[in-house]
Amino acid sequence: MITLSSDFGTPYPAAMKGVMLQRTDARLVDVAHDFPRQDVRTAAFWLREVLPYFPPATHLVVVDPGVGTDRNALVVRAGDHTLVGPDNGVLRPAARRLAADETGVETYLIDEREIGPVEPTTPTDSTADSSEHRSPRSTTFHGRDVFAPAAAAVHDADIDSLGSLECLEPGTAAVDLQLPAAELEDDRAIGEVLVVDGFGNAITNVPGAFLDGRERVMANGRAVPVGTTFAAVPVGERLATVGSHGYVELDVNQGRGDEAFGLEPGDRVVLEPAPGGDD
Amino acid sequence: MITLSSDFGTPYPAAMKGVMLQRTDARLVDVAHDFPRQDVRTAAFWLREVLPYFPPATHLVVVDPGVGTDRNALVVRAGDHTLVGPDNGVLRPAARRLAADETGVETYLIDEREIGPVEPTTPTDSTADSSEHRSPRSTTFHGRDVFAPAAAAVHDADIDSLGSLECLEPGTAAVDLQLPAAELEDDRAIGEVLVVDGFGNAITNVPGAFLDGRERVMANGRAVPVGTTFAAVPVGERLATVGSHGYVELDVNQGRGDEAFGLEPGDRVVLEPAPGGDD
Amino acid sequence: MITLSSDFGTPYPAAMKGVMLQRTDARLVDVAHDFPRQDVRTAAFWLREVLPYFPPATHLVVVDPGVGTDRNALVVRAGDHTLVGPDNGVLRPAARRLAADETGVETYLIDEREIGPVEPTTPTDSTADSSEHRSPRSTTFHGRDVFAPAAAAVHDADIDSLGSLECLEPGTAAVDLQLPAAELEDDRAIGEVLVVDGFGNAITNVPGAFLDGRERVMANGRAVPVGTTFAAVPVGERLATVGSHGYVELDVNQGRGDEAFGLEPGDRVVLEPAPGGDD
């Protein structure tokens, strides 16, 4: 099984699928192709939260603002999973989660020179529609020309046998990305919004346990009820809840929490106990 | 085969797929994940129109504004098909269609206590990225933690053998949802817009037969041509036609019927004969 | 393997998938369903660029502003690939590319009368939800009722044996579509924007070789650096590069080239040498 994640929209992911299906019979499963463009941090968050629900698989990830530069291309082994993508940190949080800890993560460099040019199935062109120049490997679409063939190769073969990939041993420094942790002090949590999901839920980095035993909480100075479900408050009302990823979310029942709370990814969130009975 | 329908956008459906692929080798087919958020009626309409084109399958449906409340979780058998989703009516119109009639629909309650917590593949976390609290079952994402494992279970096993699901016998009242029927009186139809599709076609609940033998019709007081194809009128012009689901649609050739007619879902639509030759 | 391409959004493609899965076990792969509505040229461009990366497959393509008119329905053989879609030119550029040249393209007409009505799995309806009229074949959704069953048929059978399709021999004139070619004169290229991709890259029809050996180029009178990667210029800056399809693109590093250059599909683009050292 190979999962696909990117910020490509369509139809670029289809080219990656074609390239892989020329090389492997693996099941292909889309995670998302609408990650915010070139937003490594948001993609890293979602991959960390979603990939652990998959059975052992190869995960192709292409959110790659540095495509074509000398940034490395990586294969990362993490537990029973393998990740393939650019060396910009996007793979790290998921890899740590999948491997249970940092020491379980193995990183390999892909030697791009050893990945043959990705030829379309009919390379000879002789008509007007087809006369344009075609470079052997694109400098702007490594998803198709580097990462997809690498993912197909590591899916179908033992990683250590891949002379064709010339995977190199790690130790090699790879770009790290640590999603920020909230500061917890006594009864106070100082965190930030990690991402906003499609429903408008503002997902913070404050561990959900902060809400244990509380009926109300102050969020950036405003008291809101703590609910275990959106429906704990009337439609259109604000609440704090523990999201499906285990973090505190600031939400609106059947509405957009980001708009109601005025929050965007990266914004600071301070959670404090609500004064007794005070609103 | 398991189909997936939701209002989740991305990447939440991928978590449901991962959970199912840990349990089953079934083919997974997306119906849609961009149903209007928490809009049970619109999802119910589309499911009724689309699912009957599938071969016998399990259909996972999660449009669930009441997630985490005491609303039930259901498995519904309808003809050769099985539906899995929340007890808010979203499954009923499709189930009636698939079963040919109401009496052919069997409803089971899912005992959520009997569905084990959905553990990510690597439950032990020890690093900064992974230290947050993780509740055994989310109260806000039953798509991943209740419905996906239930769909995988009913796909792979005989429904009556599923002690793990402790499916209960019906008779149990399930929430019904009847999509409104148009009133037909003599030569007049009083209906409403059920949904607007992505092309902007305003799909009403008036049976297409109303247009039989008519060349023009009055729609909310305005005479429009009746066409069997969009191209029956010039580009940008209004028409009434019978859509692919058998209902009268108010359309614009290569344009948006909803905007031209000023119609939204739920709006009343009165269709009447056009005066002879009058416009 | 059957790929699917359309301008349908959701959930209409799911109905096509259901229809095919009633007839074949083929792997289904989405290319895109968000092609601009009824924009034959843009779809034709993307199909030409993406489909050659697939292994031999059947490609179902439904961008069909003339649905229900007397435009023909086609099966086109091109090299090891087969395309199925409307006779409006959308298949031609891809077919020429896949067949290596025009002479390798074989065109068959689908006799729509020979394709049985597509019945939902439970045709008998007796309840309120199900009482509406249902025509045997829609005049507005040939994707479901003509092209999907035809694609399933040609995938699973030898095309020449398909009496049920009554494929007719070509020679029959099919609608052609030639994507415009740029004019190249000495050091000047006069072309146009073919499409804008989701990143905002304005993809022209000027062959990438035009940029060979140049460090800067005048694009519609403005000097811009030539880069082999987006990151060749600072974030937010303009550049010209050779896109993954081999054409000159006008881009912004991590921004939208279409907006920065003020370009839309169809807009004229003149590329000239930049005066030495001048900006």
Closest chain B residue to A98, measured at CA: B122
Residue contact B139–A242, C-beta within 8 A: yes
Global pTM reads 0.93
Tell the burial category of A198 from Cβ atoms under 10 Å away from its Cβ (0-12, 13-18, 19+): middle
Across chain A, mean pLDDT equals 88
CB contacts of C22 in chain B (<8 Å) are 53-55
Strand partners, A76: A83, A107
The three-point CA angle C240-C241-C244 to 5° equals: 145
The 3-state secondary structure of chain C reads CEEEEECCCCCHHHHHHHHHHCCCCCCEEEEECCCCCCCHHHHHHHHHHHHHHCCCCEEEEECCCCCCCCCCEEEEEECCEEEEEECCCCCHHHHHHHHCCHHHEEEEECCHHHCCCCCCCCCCCCCHHHCCCCCCCCCCCHHHHHHHHHHHHHHHCCHHHCCCCCCECCCCCCCCCCCCCCEEECCEEEEEEEEECCCCCEEEEEEHHHHCCCCEEEECCEEEEECCCHHHCCCCCEEEEECCCCEEEEEECCECHHHHHCCCCCCEEEEEECCCCCC
CB contacts of A11 in chain C (<8 Å) are 5, 31-32, 35, 46, 50
Q: Does A31 touch chain B (CB under 8 A)?
A: yes
Contacts of B266 (CB under 8 A, 6+ apart): B192, B193
The token duo for A92 is 């790290």
Query: Are residues C246 and A136 in contact, defined by beta-carbon separation less than 8 angstroms?
Result: no
* Whether residue A1 has pLDDT greater than 50: yes
Closest chain A residue to C47, measured at CA: A11
Highest mean pLDDT among B113-127, C95-109, C195-209: C195-209
Q: Does B208 touch chain A (CB under 8 A)?
A: no
Q: Does B70 touch chain A (CB under 8 A)?
A: no
Residue contact B55–C22, C-beta within 8 A: yes
**Nearest-CA distance from A122 to chain B in Å?**
30
**Nearest-CA distance from B234 to chain C in Å?**
11
The token duo for B30 is 């997306």
User: What ipTM was reported for this prediction?
Assistant: 0.91
The mean pLDDT value for A8-31 works out to: 97
Residue contact C68–B230, C-beta within 8 A: yes
The three-point CA angle B188-B194-B197 to 5° equals: 120
Query: Are residues B40 and B89 in contact, defined by beta-carbon separation less than 8 angstroms?
Result: yes
The tens-digit pLDDT sequence of chain B (279 residues) is 999 999 999 999 999 999 999 999 999 999 999 999 999 999 999 999 999 999 999 999 999 998 888 899 999 999 999 999 999 999 999 999 999 877 788 888 888 777 766 777 654 443 444 444 344 567 789 999 999 999 999 999 887 777 656 565 655 668 999 999 999 998 899 999 999 999 999 999 999 999 999 999 999 999 999 999 898 999 999 999 999 999 999 999 999 999 999 999 999 999 999 987 444
Task: Mutate one of A2, A4, A10 to test the C interface: name it (highest C CB count within 10 A).
Answer: A10
Task: Mutate one of C33, C49, C50 to test the A interface: name it (highest A CB count within 10 A).
Answer: C50
- Residue C159: pLDDT band by 50, 70, 90 thresholds? confident
pLDDT at B94: 97
CB contacts of C6 in chain A (<8 Å) are none
The token duo for A197 is 């999901």
Lowest pLDDT segment from A104-108, B14-18, C197-201, C264-268: A104-108
The three-point CA angle C44-C50-C54 to 5° equals: 130
The token duo for A6 is 């990117």
Q: Does C97 touch chain A (CB under 8 A)?
A: yes
Measured CA to CA, the distance from residue A250 to residue A199 in angstroms comes to: 11
Tell the burial category of C79 from Cβ atoms under 10 Å away from its Cβ (0-12, 13-18, 19+): middle
Measured CA to CA, the distance from residue B253 to residue B272 in angstroms comes to: 21
The mean pLDDT value for C17-28 works out to: 97
User: In degrees to the nearest 10, what's the CA dihedral of C1, C6, C12, C18?
Assistant: -10
Residue with tokens 């087969």: C82
CB contacts of A130 in chain C (<8 Å) are 96-97, 100-101
* Torsion over CA: B2, B7, B8, B10 (sign): positive
Q: How far does Cα C85 stand from its chain's mean position?
A: 11
pLDDT at A124: 43
Residue contact C244–A133, C-beta within 8 A: no
Nearest to B246 among C10, C118, C133 (CB): C133
Cβ-based contacts under 8 A for chains A and C: 144
Lowest pLDDT segment from A16-30, B138-152, C3-17, C51-65: B138-152
Residue contact A31–B14, C-beta within 8 A: yes
Across chain C, mean pLDDT equals 88
Instruction: Sort strands A222-225 and A216-219 into parallel, antiparallel or unpaired.
Output: antiparallel
CB contacts of A36 in chain B (<8 Å) are none
Give the CA distances from residue C26 to residues A14, B1, B167, in Å, rounded to whole numbers and listed in that order.
17, 13, 34
Q: Does A140 touch chain C (CB under 8 A)?
A: yes
Query: Are residues B5 and B60 in contact, defined by beta-carbon separation less than 8 angstroms?
Result: yes
Residue with tokens 């990151």: C231
CB contacts of B145 in chain A (<8 Å) are 244
pLDDT at B167: 60
CB contacts of C44 in chain A (<8 Å) are none
Closest chain A residue to C102, measured at CA: A127
pLDDT at A100: 82
Query: Are residues C276 and C223 in contact, defined by beta-carbon separation less than 8 angstroms?
Result: no
Nearest to C65 among B79, B96, B254 (CB): B254
Measured CA to CA, the distance from residue C3 to residue C120 in angstroms comes to: 22
Q: How far does Cα A175 stand from its chain's mean position?
A: 15
Contacts of B224 (CB under 8 A, 6+ apart): B216, B217, B218, B238, B239, B240, B250
pLDDT at B171: 57
**Which chains reach chain C with 3 or more Cβ–Cβ distances below 8 angstroms?**
A, B
Query: Are residues B95 and B76 in contact, defined by beta-carbon separation less than 8 angstroms?
Result: yes
Tell me: the pLDDT tens digits for A71-107? 999 999 999 999 999 999 999 999 999 998 777 888 8
For residue A109, count other CB atoms closer than 10 A to its CB: 18
Q: How far does Cα C144 stand from its chain's mean position?
A: 19
Q: Does B45 touch chain C (CB under 8 A)?
A: no
The token duo for B81 is 């098909």
pLDDT at B132: 42
Residue with tokens 């087919």: B29
* Whether residue C75 has pLDDT greater than 90: yes
Q: Does C45 touch chain A (CB under 8 A)?
A: no
For residue C278, count other CB atoms closer than 10 A to its CB: 8
Give C 102-121 residues with CB within 8 A of chain B.
118, 120-121
Exposure of C84 in the CB half-sphere (CA atoms within 13 A): 29
The mean pLDDT value for C102-122 works out to: 78
CB contacts of C13 in chain A (<8 Å) are none
Nearest to B57 by CA among B89, B20, B29: B29
Measured CA to CA, the distance from residue B244 to residue B190 in angstroms comes to: 20
* pLDDT higher at B20 or C230: B20
Instruction: Sort strands C73-78 and C105-109 into parallel, antiparallel or unpaired.
Output: antiparallel
CB contacts of A125 in chain C (<8 Å) are 97, 100-101
* pLDDT higher at C67 or C116: C67
For residue A111, count other CB atoms closer than 10 A to its CB: 17
* pLDDT higher at A145 or B103: A145
Measured CA to CA, the distance from residue A108 to residue A76 in angstroms comes to: 6
Instruction: Count how many residues are written for chain A.
Output: 279
The token duo for C195 is 């499409």
Cβ-based contacts under 8 A for chains A and B: 143
* pLDDT higher at C25 or B165: C25
Please name each of the domains of chain B with its CATH number. 2-161 (3.40.50.10790), 183-273 (2.40.30.90)
Residue contact B230–C67, C-beta within 8 A: yes
pLDDT at C100: 82
Residue contact A121–C229, C-beta within 8 A: no
**Is A245 in a helix, a strand, or coil?**
coil
Helix axes C148-156, C12-21, angle to 10 degrees: 30
H-helix or E-strand containing B43?
A: helix B40-50
**Is B143 in a helix, a strand, or coil?**
helix
Residue contact C37–B241, C-beta within 8 A: no
For residue C26, count other CB atoms closer than 10 A to its CB: 17
Nearest to C51 by CA among C93, C21, C19, C14: C93
Q: Does C14 touch chain A (CB under 8 A)?
A: no
pLDDT at B135: 44
Query: Are residues B275 and B215 in contact, defined by beta-carbon separation less than 8 angstroms?
Result: no
Measured CA to CA, the distance from residue A260 to residue C26 in angstroms comes to: 47
